[in-house]
A and B are shown apart, each in its own frame.
Chain A
């Protein structure tokens, strides 16, 4: 059974750093496409980042240059390193295993199997 479990959230001061983890079971992270999506309290969903099976990474403009997505193949775990955190980064962060399609214009992916989320609160 495919399962992902996030951890690492908490209260952090503005300007601080935090690393989120996403432990996977039932599939191999490095062979798949994985996303992070966040949801501020009481608001909608916002895509954050994706890592492809070939290691390519992409980010939302709102986090580009501050967040880094990566994976540890030996631990079958996905990470999101967050730096220079701002109040507007406060959200529940979900990781997900993606569906994917190979198209003429490239690979398209879509979050399919989501974890339960981990809450990050940026506040002084």
Chain B
């Protein structure tokens, strides 16, 4: 199975900060990578697919980049609604795998 490693595990930031989360794959996955946001007690919400495509309705402050084995999710100006846990997921094979998550906390 392809292993996905996110960093950092926890991130403390303030409203208005620029935030970057990294996701590394144990082998190349081309651009078959997605990012989800999950708020406490809620289902995950798809933010980005194919590494950089913004899902409909997602604010433009979220951007994704990368290919191969290294990917990033950037939030250009953190808003109160953005304090949540973020997961990357590879879907290059039918056996999809998620990263362990990055919790974005209020500083």
Contact = CB atoms under 8 A, between A and B. Distances in A.
Interface in A67-124: 94, 99, 101, 108-112, 114-117
B101 A44 contact: yes
Interface of B: 1, 32, 34, 36, 38, 42-46, 49-50, 55, 87, 89, 91-92, 94-101
A60 B100 CA distance: 17
B100 A108 contact: no
A27 interface: no
Main secondary structure of the interface of A (DSSP, over half): strand
A45 to B, nearest CB: 4
Main secondary structure of the interface of B (DSSP, over half): loop
18 contacts: A44-B87, A44-B99, A44-B100, A45-B89, A46-B98, A58-B94, A61-B1, A94-B44, A99-B49, A108-B91, A110-B34, A110-B49, A111-B44, A112-B55, A114-B44, A114-B45, A115-B43, A117-B43
Contacts of B89: 45, 47, 110
B43 A109 contact: no
A99 B49 CA distance: 9
Size category, A interface: 20 to 34
